[in-house]
Structure 1
Amino acid sequence: MTDAHPILIVGGGLVGASLAIALDAAGRDAILVEASAPRAPAPAGPGDRNLALARATVNGLIAIDAWEHARTAATAISDIHVTRAGDFGSVRLSARAAGVDAMGWTLPAPALGAALAARLDRCTRLQRLAPARLEALEYTGDAWHARLATSNGAQDVRAALLVGADGTDSFVRTSLGIGTDDIDYRQSLFVATAAPARAHGLRAFERFTDDGPVAILPLAQGRVGIIVTVGAADADRIQGLADDDFLAEVQRRFGWRLGKLTRPGPRFRHDIRRVAASGIVGPRAVLVGNAAQTIHPIGAQGFNLGLRDALTLAELTSPAVDPGDAGLLAAYAERRQADRDATMAMSHGLASLACLPEPALGPLRSLMMLAMGTPPLRAAMTARGMGLRAGAPIAVREGHA
């Protein structure tokens, strides 16, 4: 069977699903290829991975009518406090000072997945193939021909635009012959939750240390999310710690701003690498989300950046007669370049500079902290922290949602 559809999205994760929803809302036909069959959402649990969603990201989710399904599980972030152990100076970003109700929100990843799944169920212009796997691609000049393995057998699809939303090890990216710039940070990320003795007050904390950054995020029911980065040489030791010893390690790095941390939730380890595509467009093809750039998780910008990819692409292709037109894709790449470059540079710079143990850098880091606390730079940092960047898609801009 051969289906002719203008846009084929490979990858049904958070970014691919968001793109499919945005295209459907704009009245554009698309096919979404999902590796797993849709299933009932699992109940929230203490071991869930928590996402930090920038304000602009939530604006975008509102614009595609997905936020209502997630709102009740979200916790607002009213303030962000950034410090560096051993250095003076700090940066405090405040929603009140910015004239908004929240800088962003934390949300369990399964809750966002469930919200997007509920919104996908209401799409009328979208064909979902799940479970399905992309097996082969052929480019004929005016279209891509994709061979898919589905639960109903092989299926051929002809698409005027191919979108790779298939993650860090993207099959689409490899098929396009697009290389990557890879960095192995030789670090591991540990994610857990805990109960603080003092109320978090909707504050998020980023603490840089010689051993790596620690982030503390406000969660529902008074708990906090813990994100700890450690060097590869120390990762096995941290993984083997008993719960109380792990919290003691977090406490040593983070300090006592929230009092004693107790009642830890399950702990998960993720090894960190950056994989940045050397280009994000090809002939009638686009890469979005982690297929385009998998960045260091410091600053929690991965999904926020990926959603801006998806919504920019939807904005440009929705009214187009030919969504795979070379000029349109060049415009997309140009629109995304500044945001993509700045976000990758920020995450890499923070990972490289803020955690270097060289004592000689201490005065420089302290001066940077003091400078970022001045009103002009603080305002710029607040806007960036909320994801409000130049050239961002209309859907995420303040006042649009």
Structure 2
Amino acid sequence: MTHLFDVTVIGSGLVGSSLAIALQHSGLTVALVEAAPPPLREQPREDERNLALARASTTALQTLGVWPRLTGTATPIRRIHVSRAGEFGTLRLDAARAGVDSLGAVVPARALAAALQQELDLCTRIHRYVPAQLRDLRVSADRVELNLQTPDGETTIATRLLVGADGTASQVRALTGIGTDTIDYAQTLFVCSLLPQRPLDGLAYERFSDTGPLALLPLADRRAGFVLSVPTPEAAAVAALDDAGFLAHAQQRFGWRAGRFSRPGRRSAHPIRRVVAQGLTAPRCVLVGNAAQTIHPIGAQGFNLGLRDALTLAELLIERHRGGGDAGSDALLQTYAARRREDREGTLAFSHGLVQLACNPARVLAPLRSLGLLLLDGLPDAAGGIARRGMGFRGATSAYALGVRP
């Protein structure tokens, strides 16, 4: 007999795990399909990727019970400094000015993954298929049948709602026939940690140039996360630099606001592409996170946007279940798409527009950019609105981001 679930989540990355945790006490029957077994829990290394979490995300993770596991590794962001190389305008965002103690926090990606995994291990009501891969699906009037490949062979389960949280190359998206719009930014992102001469003390930098954006993020132990984008034709040469050469390149691109850079960690490189699903839903199916939209990392919007996808969906599913409704109904999917529209479209437009404007080498734009930043910096209402959106409060805000379990 085929097991029938209310909700099946494909993908146990950061977004998929967050959704499953949010549904643990919902009363819904939930399955989580994980392509690979959880990695060995290693101690965080200073050279790992780091995530800038918006305030809405840190509050949501607190609501989910995950945040207490991160307090030892999370570093608050209290101020943000935005500028462009060679231009005089700056925009400064300050938590105190916004009336909060922090605008968000920087967390090692590995630490967040481990914290989510530890919480997920306590979710005894979630049925986990691990390792298992989605091979095929068939949609009928009241369910979706899924063929899963496991080490013991093929198995079939059914679900009222199928959630694709399986990343940029989403199998769920492909099998449901949802197309994508893709932009290759012809940039490669280098990520590492390093030691700035001047302690950042909660200050994050976002800096733009003709060759792409870069960021410096505060970490524990006076270290900083460094994010550098370079034109892809230059990526091989940058990757080949030794530590001294890379530090010199980083210093030349960033400048001296944080003093001299030293002690770089191991670097990793990531090509930057924007892959946006042409729709969020198909019959009895919905996309969240990178399966729905993979965007330029400028402004650190990607995971924050995906988490808001997951928690908005969780909230709607819980409301629908309490009313005795069908988790995969067209009405629920339409409500979800409408609820996410303003936040998603606004974030997509902001991310792409910022790349096009802030990194455009046209000299005529230089004074306009500088004057724009100065104007925004000098108007409390304008800076406050930017800070609020940067903290993840755009459009309909999930209850989890307000500290409330639905």
- Equivalence for 2:207: 207
Question: How far off its partner does 1:152 sit?
Answer: 3.1
Question: Which structure 2 segments of 5+ residues have no match?
Answer: none
Deviation digits for residues 232-273 of structure 1 (CA, Å, limit 9, x no counterpart) = 121111111111111111111111111100011001100000
Q: Report the TM-score, using the length of structure 1 for normalisation.
A: 0.98
Question: How far off its partner does 1:119 sit?
Answer: 0.6
Count of residue pairs the alignment pairs up = 400
- Equivalence for 2:4: 4
Alignment of structure 1 residues 218-229 onto 2, 5 Å: 218-229=218-229
Question: How far off its partner does 1:39 sit?
Answer: 4.1
- Equivalence for 1:241: 241
- Equivalence for 1:17: 17
Question: How far off its partner does 1:182 sit?
Answer: 0.3
- Equivalence for 1:77: 77
Question: How far off its partner does 1:27 sit?
Answer: 2.9
- Distance in 1 separating the partners of 2:148 and 2:319: 28
The amino acid across from 2:121 in the alignment is D
- Distance in 2 separating the partners of 1:259 and 1:195: 10
- Equivalence for 1:230: 230
Deviation digits for residues 63-110 of structure 1 (CA, Å, limit 9, x no counterpart) = 111111122111111100000112222110011111211111111111
Alignment of structure 1 residues 47-66 onto 2, 5 Å: 47-66=47-66
Q: Report the TM-score, using the length of structure 2 for normalisation.
A: 0.97
1:384 to 357, 381, 389: 389
- Equivalence for 1:352: 356
- Runs of 4+ residues deviating >3 angstroms: none
- Distance in 2 separating the partners of 1:35 and 1:209: 39
The answer as to whether partners of 1:28 and 1:125 remain within 8 angstroms in 2 is: no
Deviation digits for residues 344-386 of structure 1 (CA, Å, limit 9, x no counterpart) = 1111111111011111111111121122211111000110111
- Distance in 1 separating the partners of 2:96 and 2:383: 13
Question: How far off its partner does 1:400 sit?
Answer: 3.9
The answer as to whether partners of 1:168 and 1:275 remain within 8 angstroms in 2 is: yes
- Distance in 1 separating the partners of 2:241 and 2:357: 28
- Equivalence for 1:179: 179
Question: How far off its partner does 1:57 sit?
Answer: 0.2
Structure-2 change in CA distance of 1:296 and 1:109 (3 Å)? same
The answer as to whether partners of 2:342 and 2:394 remain within 8 angstroms in 1 is: no
- Equivalence for 1:318: 318
- Equivalence for 2:342: 338
- Distance in 2 separating the partners of 1:322 and 1:64: 24
The answer as to whether partners of 2:188 and 2:271 remain within 8 angstroms in 1 is: yes
The amino acid across from 1:136 in the alignment is D
Q: Match of 2:259, SS?
A: coil
Q: Match of 1:47, SS?
A: coil
What is the identity percentage for the equivalent residue pairs of Structure 1 and Structure 2? 50
- Distance in 2 separating the partners of 1:281 and 1:146: 17
- Equivalence for 2:300: 300
- Distance in 2 separating the partners of 1:27 and 1:62: 21
The amino acid across from 1:86 in the alignment is G
- Distance in 2 separating the partners of 1:380 and 1:212: 25
